[in-house]
Chains A and B, each alone.
Chain A
């Protein structure tokens, strides 16, 4: 990461610096030290855990897809068989880095409330989601701390670290092309001149922040930090491949890990495409989940041959979390669909994950069972596993103290390597 273009470096080289007056000191020192990065993938609408992650072939209370059979890799089990060739391929190649988490209580069967629970661990709208919280509390300064390509985002009070790709508009803002699209178009300012104005504006913002206290200062400093990031990104758009966000999930995943590799981003969210709310036809689940595993296979392949920012390979510093806000009922309804269910499953894979195993458990009716939080196995003396416990584990994986964010919430240690 040597040679990284930094705000202070730019400012010190700027002729405007002296005129702009004393500047604020960036709050976080840029460092090359490794922090785990997080790629969240979200199936919005509610995926069916039995399609891949939580098979129940021995239960007459669960409708499994026809022609599927139990697949396994050590203690990791999944729904395999001919209709799941791509799933089996993924787990055979990468299963040792994957933990399947089953029987997670999401506290609700409503999309909106369950989505908020699984993303934030609470029902309070003021709480930020896991990627935003992790990005906000990073030790390293990132230009795009949490980059949302698609999928849900709960910024809470940490909105300053969230960048929404916004259907490409963010990129048009970054490269200035939006200036040419307006009704009275303007040219994109030449880079050296633009940088000089940027440096002046940064100085003004830093001075403005200096005079503020408390929440006012937080807001003013958020502007200062954001200006730093705009300037860095303007210089690194093409290097980061951010000149084109891509059109599909694989494109977005590859770009997400690329900006992580370049030290621009710590967390990213990508929506898993598809109509997941399969009340009318549950067969869509198999198609969409199979597609997802094909993408994951290519993503992991990419990460396994791409050098990381602080590790040999990217796969050694990125955590991939695939999730959905609810599960689906164990039995098909009269329309061949499945309805909302308050227990779901996660796939957690990559750096620091205790992989190659399935943890958490559901009974033959797909209801969550008490489990030991240290082993992840079913245990009568264990605790019910809920989405906030998994979230707390992700915070710990990120190097944060979960108790500071979710007091009294027990960490689901079983997924931590």
Chain B
């Protein structure tokens, strides 16, 4: 008996802790951080440095967080929740005196008004609560003209600006763009707008709440919908809190059928009490009376869910998964850090990207968390441009970040119209886009680099000339292909790698079919750019 107890005790003492995650290599860690923070791969110099001294990781993260491209990424990440980039210009630019400015260009600027306030906050290390309490908006000349803003004369970039129609300023809550994106007229009584606020800033979407309408509720709705909303328990379960939120937005309200930019862009303080004519419920915030938009903003930023929602938006984007119960302890660490750092988004991102869970190649629970991330359309564009100097543009517009051709949606990005959540599973269209972009970039690089009269240095073909063939200079071919892989993936090929031989065969075959070195090298480059390690990180 004694020995059995001893055995049990020893076995208990010797119990191994649950296996932790397997971590990425130092190179892979830096690639993940760089792609997430800046949307591009690190330079080879940086990768060599981290390989030699992995402890430099935190220093690199700090440096990347100061990179201007970090602000682009912040806008991209929060747009996945806010979805103000929807390609809509809402009005004829000519009405605002923007003659010759395309609708698409106007849509780019308007969609960014809320997101530019966010990136201004992040850039200046202001608390995230400023997004709802700022007494200004952000504008470029197009936004300024469309919304008739007080904007610095002669300025050409994004600057602080003010609405001039006497409206209260409450950050995103008082921007025209927000309420053009989320219109709510007539019988809807601003409820769509109220739900947009709840979804964007509390991560609480009324529309996904389960609804149980019993027969009594249906009968009541048949007779008098507004009365049912105000008295039936099933309806009240949402409307008792939704309708008081809705009551804040009547200054932005104009009747169905009202047309024209001037009418739509003007805030009307005299309409603020129009809730009496519609839902009949005065303004309030989850049981607490509020008088106006500035008080609503204050109530929102004091709600614990406000900070949680911001932290959740960042966390879910960096892990490419919906937050679930299994994430809670890990998430809480980052949320607490965010709040302790006065809602500083930069600190929040840093907290996540230096964590062990983030750097896992094989998470502890591989069925719940993916150890590989898929690049977004903007990340793919940035990575390929960083490698090749090539940007896929159509009619002066970026193909992978603008919605003109629908490429971002086809690649799994959100478009503010049909695709409301990012798709992290590669699909047929993802594979096609990577293929065609690789072919376009491969051709561009090969045409440039093999041109004896080119301007500037070669971009990728550093080891071969147009005269070289696999037979005349096999060493150069091998070195060139190894360099292509290093440039494309950030990871050196092993000594016994099969890629050089395989791609020499590709080169020979394409050359035999097409008859030009440019076509042969374009195919080889495109093959390297289609490596899965470009798509995943």
Chain A residues proximal to chain B, CB less than 8 Å: 15-16, 19-21, 105, 107-110, 112-113, 116, 123-126, 143-144, 152-153, 155, 157-164, 166-167, 169-170, 173-174, 176, 178-179, 181-184, 186-187, 189-190, 192-194, 196-198, 200-201, 203-205, 208-209, 212-216, 218-220, 222-223, 226-227, 229-230, 233, 279, 329-330, 339, 342, 365, 367
- Tell me the complex Cα distance, A95–B365, Å: 52
Q: Using A107-B213, A164-B406, A279-B187 as known contacts, list a sample of 18 further A-B pairs with CB atoms less than 8 Å apart, ordered by residue number in A.
A: A20-B498, A124-B208, A125-B208, A160-B426, A164-B410, A169-B406, A179-B443, A186-B440, A187-B443, A189-B510, A189-B514, A198-B435, A204-B530, A215-B369, A223-B430, A230-B435, A233-B428, A339-B187
Do residues A184 and B444 form an inter-chain contact, with CB atoms below 8 A? yes
Given known pairs A123-B210, A155-B423, A161-B427, the reply for A179 and B410 (CB within 8 Å) is no
Do residues A193 and B510 form an inter-chain contact, with CB atoms below 8 A? yes
- Tell me the complex Cα distance, A255–B480, Å: 45
Interface string of B216-237 (1 = CB under 8 A from A): 0011011001000000000000
Do residues A216 and B362 form an inter-chain contact, with CB atoms below 8 A? yes
Q: Which residues from A are CB-within-8-Å of B368?
A: 214-215
Closest chain B residue, CB of each to CB of A201? B530
Interface pairs A-B: 8 shortest CB-CB: A214-B366, A19-B502, A186-B443, A159-B423, A215-B370, A173-B432, A226-B431, A166-B406
B393 within 8 A of A: yes
Closest chain A residue, CB of each to CB of B524? A197
Do residues B208 and A21 form an inter-chain contact, with CB atoms below 8 A? no
Q: Which residues from A are CB-within-8-Å of B225?
A: 339
Do residues A113 and B208 form an inter-chain contact, with CB atoms below 8 A? yes
Do residues B370 and A197 form an inter-chain contact, with CB atoms below 8 A? no
Given known pairs A212-B372, A214-B370, the reply for A126 and B362 (CB within 8 Å) is no
Closest chain A residue, CB of each to CB of B399? A182
Listed A/B pairs (7) with beta-carbon separation below 8 Å: A113-B208, A116-B208, A179-B440, A201-B531, A219-B426, A227-B431, A339-B225
Q: Which residues from B are CB-within-8-Å of A113?
A: 207-208, 211
Q: Which residues from A are CB-within-8-Å of B207?
A: 108, 110, 112-113, 116, 123
Do residues A158 and B425 form an inter-chain contact, with CB atoms below 8 A? yes
B462 within 8 A of A: no
Q: Which residues from A are CB-within-8-Å of B433?
A: 173
- Tell me the complex Cα distance, A126–B439, Å: 34
B424 within 8 A of A: yes
Closest chain B residue, CB of each to CB of A229? B428
Closest chain B residue, CB of each to CB of A20? B502
Instruction: For residue B216, give the distance in angstroms from its CB to the closest CB of chain A.
Output: 11
Given known pairs A107-B213, A183-B396, A214-B370, the reply for A15 and B505 (CB within 8 Å) is yes
- Tell me the complex Cα distance, A196–B218, Å: 62
- Tell me the complex Cα distance, A163–B187, Å: 36
Do residues A159 and B372 form an inter-chain contact, with CB atoms below 8 A? no
Do residues A200 and B429 form an inter-chain contact, with CB atoms below 8 A? no
Do residues B498 and A19 form an inter-chain contact, with CB atoms below 8 A? yes
- Tell me the complex Cα distance, A144–B427, Å: 10
Instruction: For residue B445, give the distance in angstroms from its CB to the closest CB of chain A.
Output: 10
Chain B contacts with A in 411-453, Cβ cutoff 8 A: 412, 418, 420-421, 423-433, 435-436, 439-440, 442-444
Given known pairs A160-B427, A169-B407, the reply for A213 and B366 (CB within 8 Å) is yes
Instruction: For residue B400, give the distance in angstroms from its CB to the closest CB of chain A.
Output: 11
Given known pairs A182-B399, A213-B366, the reply for A190 and B513 (CB within 8 Å) is yes
Contact of B322 among A126, A182, A198, A212 (CB under 8 A): A126
Contact of B429 among A116, A164, A182 (CB under 8 A): A164
- Tell me the complex Cα distance, A342–B399, Å: 41
Given known pairs A208-B533, A219-B372, A342-B221, the reply for A169 and B405 (CB within 8 Å) is yes
Given known pairs A20-B502, A181-B394, A197-B526, the reply for A173 and B218 (CB within 8 Å) is no
B289 within 8 A of A: no
Do residues B429 and A163 form an inter-chain contact, with CB atoms below 8 A? yes
Contact of A230 among B213, B431, B440, B502 (CB under 8 A): B431
Do residues B427 and A226 form an inter-chain contact, with CB atoms below 8 A? yes
Q: Which residues from A are CB-within-8-Å of B363?
A: 214
Contact of A144 among B374, B428, B503 (CB under 8 A): B428
Given known pairs A179-B436, A200-B506, A215-B369, the reply for A220 and B536 (CB within 8 Å) is yes
Given known pairs A123-B208, A169-B410, A367-B222, the reply for A179 and B513 (CB within 8 Å) is no
B151 within 8 A of A: no
B392 within 8 A of A: yes
Q: Which residues from A are CB-within-8-Å of B506?
A: 16, 193, 196-197, 200
B71 within 8 A of A: no
Instruction: For residue B355, give the distance in angstroms from its CB to the closest CB of chain A.
Output: 18
Closest chain A residue, CB of each to CB of B532? A208
- Tell me the complex Cα distance, A109–B535, Å: 41
Given known pairs A169-B405, A216-B371, the reply for A189 and B222 (CB within 8 Å) is no
Chain B contacts with A in 478-537, Cβ cutoff 8 A: 498-499, 501-503, 505-506, 509-510, 513-514, 519, 522-523, 526-527, 530-533, 535-536
Do residues B527 and A222 form an inter-chain contact, with CB atoms below 8 A? no
Q: Which residues from B are CB-within-8-Å of A110?
A: 207
B335 within 8 A of A: no
- Tell me the complex Cα distance, A360–B237, Å: 29
- Tell me the complex Cα distance, A109–B239, Å: 13
B209 within 8 A of A: yes
Q: Which residues from A are CB-within-8-Å of B365?
A: 214
Given known pairs A173-B432, A184-B440, A200-B506, the reply for A222 and B426 (CB within 8 Å) is yes
Do residues A167 and B426 form an inter-chain contact, with CB atoms below 8 A? no
Closest chain B residue, CB of each to CB of A366? B222
Do residues B221 and A19 form an inter-chain contact, with CB atoms below 8 A? no
Closest chain B residue, CB of each to CB of A17? B502
B331 within 8 A of A: no
Given known pairs A160-B425, A184-B390, the reply for A152 and B527 (CB within 8 Å) is no
- Tell me the complex Cα distance, A363–B459, Å: 73
Given known pairs A113-B208, A160-B427, A223-B431, the reply for A125 and B421 (CB within 8 Å) is yes
Q: Which residues from B are CB-within-8-Å of A143?
A: 428
Instruction: For residue A238, give the distance in angstroms from its CB to the closest CB of chain B.
Output: 17
Do residues B221 and A197 form an inter-chain contact, with CB atoms below 8 A? no
Contact of A182 among B367, B393, B409 (CB under 8 A): B393
Q: Which residues from B are CB-within-8-Å of A21?
A: 498
Do residues A170 and B513 form an inter-chain contact, with CB atoms below 8 A? no
- Tell me the complex Cα distance, A15–B513, Å: 14
Q: Which residues from B are CB-within-8-Å of A167?
A: 405-406
Contact of B425 among A15, A218, A342 (CB under 8 A): A218
